[in-house]
Chains A and B, each alone.
Chain A
Amino acid sequence: MGWVGRSPTRSEDRALVDGLARFAGDVEPIGGALHAAIVRSPVARGRLVALHPGGVESDTRGKDRGAALVTAADIDFTRPVPNILTDRVSMPLLAIDRVSYVGEPLAVALADTRDAAMDLACSIEPEIETGPACAGLDFAVLGPPIHDVLDSNVVHERTFRYTPDAAPGDADQLSIAHDAVMPRSTALPLERVDITADFDPGSGRYTVWANYGGPMALHAVMASCLGVAPADLRLHISERIGGNFGIKQAMYPMIALVAAAARVVGRPVRWRETRAESLTAASAASERRTIVTGGFGRDGKLHSLAVEQTENLGAYVRTPEPAGLYRMHGAITGPYDVQDLVVANRAVLTNQVPSGLNRGFGAPQLFLSLESMIDRAARELELDRAEIRRRNVVGAFPHRCPGGAELDSGDYVAVIDRACELIGWSSFDRATSGTRRRGIGLACSVETSGNNLGYMNLAADPDSPAARVPRSGAGAVAAIAIDPVGSVTVHLDAPDCGQGYRTIAAQVAADELGVDPEAIRVETALDTASDGWLLTSGNYANRFSTAVASAVAEASRKAAEKLRHVAAARLGTTPDLIDLVEGQAIDRTSGASTPVLRLGGQLHWDLAQRPTALDGPIRESAYYAPGHLRSPEAGALQTSFTYSFQCDAAIVQVDPATGELAIESYVSVHDAGTVLHPASFVGQVHGGLAHGLGAALGEEIAYDEDGRPSATSLHSYAPLRATRMPPVVVDHLESPSPHTVHGAKGIGDGCAVLAPAVLASAIGDALELARNPTPPFTPARVWELAVGLGSDR
């Protein structure tokens, strides 16, 4: 039995429990750095008149020879962040003349210490002529534009129609719609952004150290903001990243800003984000209105689907947005077998922080409405909610979805059945001993893994040159080397943000080399100047178990092939007769053996040992890029590498007197193909669930009518704590993907995506609502629902 599929203890963990684990903030990458604090807009909209210096304590100034304020005028060599939707408004690194959201950077205060820099930043008084803010999605569509140069806040509008060859014959269709607005929430990794930048005037190059997790496509965007070639922006990514969940992507304009400040002052600059900044000024999962309309036959069969989405991107289109709107595009029909599809997408700007990646990026909004619509259809048609799903999910694979996704493998009905069995669906009794109301709910989804960057072509104006550039891919690159003493190092193009990449990549390589995983060191730090990476590299979109693990396996196979050649020469046989097992290269015929890694080391010392066809010691790299991902054609996009399936179910109790919601039990059943490390698989499910439950239960980034965010600290944005997590049962089935080396698919997003829809289903059932309610399910909100106030928000 190989190492893949087992759960060895994680090599990441010893340092963690010993209090010795180094994160970005624990090291000083370069000496002599000034500390930065960001002067930010206190208002959501207005004309920036001036920045007035205030009363910084004189002893700070006197002592602090580095104190300086870098303003927009000082960094006029930078460019705003380019985006694919509009050239007329771009996000500047520092606000120029106008401010458009609370927290927008206005200037960089620099001083010898972080405290002094913060004092300086706080002392600056921005003079702003405030204007009316647009802090709501609906108002954005109809109201005046937030940027004077625009005619409308609607910066993107595109409709896609996919008509099947033969229209469905059922004239007796029932049309069921569900309209829901998913509120904003945020990812909240515990580690905050930490950026150190240096500029070398001699070479004109920037060097940056940061806990940036990708996507690496944004490296070129940062370089463009700085007006340099990508090769002149050397980015060092830290070995450990203390959580990400997508939001650290949003630091890239700040990397460019800190680097620009370093150039201005001629010294390295370090910026450490505050928690308030991470909550208000970094990013948020988008607010989105999703109206899903299904056409059903009387038998409960779904014949047509229309999805109308309006996305609140915040004050600027920050690349890679509007990716959130398109991430699920090819698979927007979810797990359902329906070919008649219309998708109408719209994106608007508001006076809120720009939106961006969050765990399950762009999918929770879709599945909340899609699954709520299916529930409603079941009620209208008097069908069981599980049964209507069984009748409509895809049954044969591969399955081509109208949007372009090719669902690769699965047994969706078996997963639904398993979830129902574990939650006790058919024997559920809503009776309780008191006044509480008991309900059961479920929801299904497909989970994408490894995003095809061809989505950009769908988002671009079809008449623009940007739409005609072919774009495709979700690949990975990995490297493996054996050093002169026989130690193996694997290098990944995916920084680790906690998923255990070092452990799992070592398992993968160990299987190919026939050695113990402990013999393999895995490097997750990334240096853009010397390591291999791709546009699609990074820690995001479930790409590890699919693309990265496959690339590690392929690189390791190349290394194993070389080792077999060398071993064959040593043992006097041919490479095809060499097995690599338990650290030995064994001649299958004679039984003679030699330690495999020592062979690899010896190649350094005696190149004569290399077989003639080979060129040197073992240092192999491999790309893994699935051939089935193409640039979109006719609006159809193979959205991702592979597709997992999931069915979650929950039982809840609602106290109608107080609105208190108790989750009695939660079941999550997945089919994510082959499981690489079962304990990490379960950990991803639990973690994703905590993320999704947090968003469902009240982690909301709300704004008042003046565009002021309500959550400015962990006291006002209350993250889910251990006491709030329900009992969870996790199970999985395995339908291997044909597209990955191990048959693995992604698992990290699923519960973060589905939990809001599952709770909506269960609460809707408990309170016997006609329509599933919309999160956040705070006690106040649940009480309103219980007493019949506004079933829609």
Chain B
Amino acid sequence: MKRVGPHEASPVHLVLDGTPVVLEASSRQSLAEAIRSVKPTAVHLGCEEGACGSCTVMVDGPTVRSCTVLAVQCESAAVTTAAGLGDRAEDLRLALMEHFAFQCGFCASGFVVVAAEFLGGLEGEIPDEAAIREAIAGCVCRCTGYASIVAAIRTVAAERAGETG
């Protein structure tokens, strides 16, 4: 295993939102900071201690809090942020807008990714409200009281179930 000192930068190769990038990251640098060095709006940092969920991204599939993962741990990983979900999440984005899901929206970068993962795992079923709330409980929103976000996710789940069913 390659060793990197605390203040040394070393190259980390990622496929970030579908684009290969090489980032210079020190051994202490979080994945969130590394992503923000090239795409500063794609990930927002609310706590830097893994509690608010705003920095959620997908790493080779499942979601992680990018503030609690080191960039150097993600060598060669495919990382997807809210800015890289592409056309498959357009129904989600539109539903979030139509339900006025966000206010300040600082947390949106995390909610969009978490909701996309949750909806992607449903396989045609329509979740009840409690399941949606459980799914987004890792993300903190201080503006909305969550009802608008829950409603948007439920709408997308119903629409997708209708299409597949």
A435 within 8 A of B: no
Interface bits A265-307 vs B (CB < 8 Å: 1, else 0)? 0000000001100000000000000000000000000000000
Q: Which of A21-29, A195-203, A591-599, A641-649 contacts B (4 or more CB under 8 A)?
A: A21-29
A501 to chain B, nearest CB (A): 11
Chain A residue with Cβ nearest B149: A722
Chain A residue with Cβ nearest B84: A19
A764 to chain B, nearest CB (A): 24
Interface bits B114-146 vs A (CB < 8 Å: 1, else 0)? 000000000000000010111011011111111
Which of B36, B109, B145 has the largest number of chain A CB atoms within 10 A? Answer: B145
Q: Which of B70-78, B93-101, B157-165 contacts A (4 or more CB under 8 A)?
A: B93-101
Chain B residue with Cβ nearest A503: B100
Asked if A21 and B45 make an inter-chain contact with CB atoms under 8 angstroms apart, the answer reads: no
A713 within 8 A of B: yes
Inter-chain CA distance A20–B109, complex, in Å, is 9
A576 to chain B, nearest CB (A): 39
Among candidates B36, B107, B147, B149, residue contacting A190 with C-beta atoms closer than 8 Å: B107
Residues of B contacting A83 with CB < 8 Å? none
Asked if B100 and A10 make an inter-chain contact with CB atoms under 8 angstroms apart, the answer reads: yes
Inter-chain CA distance A719–B6, complex, in Å, is 33
B104 to chain A, nearest CB (A): 3
B9 to chain A, nearest CB (A): 11
Inter-chain CA distance A110–B144, complex, in Å, is 37
Inter-chain CA distance A57–B29, complex, in Å, is 17
Among candidates B44, B49, B133, residue contacting A191 with C-beta atoms closer than 8 Å: B44
Residues of A contacting B28 with CB < 8 Å? 115
Among candidates B36, B96, B103, B132, residue contacting A17 with C-beta atoms closer than 8 Å: B96
Which of B26, B51, B106 has the largest number of chain A CB atoms within 10 A? Answer: B106
Interface bits B26-57 vs A (CB < 8 Å: 1, else 0)? 10110000001001111111111101101000
Residues 38-84 (chain A) with a chain B CB within 8 angstroms:
57, 59-60, 63
Residues of B contacting A23 with CB < 8 Å? 41, 44, 106
A392 within 8 A of B: no
B114 to chain A, nearest CB (A): 11
Chain A residue with Cβ nearest B46: A190
Asked if B105 and A683 make an inter-chain contact with CB atoms under 8 angstroms apart, the answer reads: no
Which of B47, B54, B101, B109 has the largest number of chain A CB atoms within 10 A? Answer: B47
Inter-chain CA distance A20–B96, complex, in Å, is 15
Chain A residue with Cβ nearest B43: A19
Query: Given contacts A190-B142, A683-B100, is CB(A27)–CB(B40) below 8 Å?
Result: yes
Q: How many residues of B contact A (CB 8 A)?
A: 59
A788 to chain B, nearest CB (A): 33
Residues of B contacting A25 with CB < 8 Å? 40, 44-45
Query: Given contacts A17-B93, A59-B7, A189-B104, is CB(A498)–CB(B82) below 8 Å?
Result: no
Q: Which of A155-163, A415-423, A547-555, A684-692 contacts B (4 or more CB under 8 A)?
A: A684-692
A722 to chain B, nearest CB (A): 4
Asked if B47 and A275 make an inter-chain contact with CB atoms under 8 angstroms apart, the answer reads: yes
A780 within 8 A of B: no
Chain A residue with Cβ nearest B85: A19
Interface bits A717-737 vs B (CB < 8 Å: 1, else 0)? 001011101001000000000
Inter-chain CA distance A13–B100, complex, in Å, is 8
Inter-chain CA distance A187–B36, complex, in Å, is 26
Which of B42, B45, B132, B143 has the largest number of chain A CB atoms within 10 A? Answer: B143
A494 within 8 A of B: no
What are 26 inter-chain pairs, A to B, with CB distance below 8 A? A17-B102, A18-B83, A20-B83, A23-B44, A115-B28, A115-B29, A187-B142, A189-B106, A190-B104, A190-B107, A190-B141, A241-B104, A243-B103, A243-B106, A498-B143, A683-B148, A686-B145, A686-B146, A689-B145, A690-B144, A713-B47, A714-B140, A719-B140, A721-B146, A722-B133, A722-B139
Residues of B within 8 A of A (CB): 5-7, 26, 28-29, 36, 39-49, 51-52, 54, 81-84, 92-93, 96-98, 100-109, 112, 130, 132-134, 136-137, 139-150
Nearest 8 CB-CB pairs, A to B?
A: A498-B104, A242-B106, A19-B83, A19-B82, A686-B145, A714-B51, A16-B105, A498-B103
Identify 9 new A-B residue pairs, CB closer than 8 A, beyond the known A189-B106, A683-B143.
A18-B83, A59-B7, A243-B104, A686-B146, A687-B143, A715-B49, A725-B145, A725-B147, A728-B147
Residues of A within 8 A of B (CB): 7, 9-10, 12-23, 25-27, 57, 59-60, 63, 115-116, 187-192, 240-243, 245, 274-275, 497-500, 679-680, 683, 686-691, 713-715, 719, 721-723, 725, 728
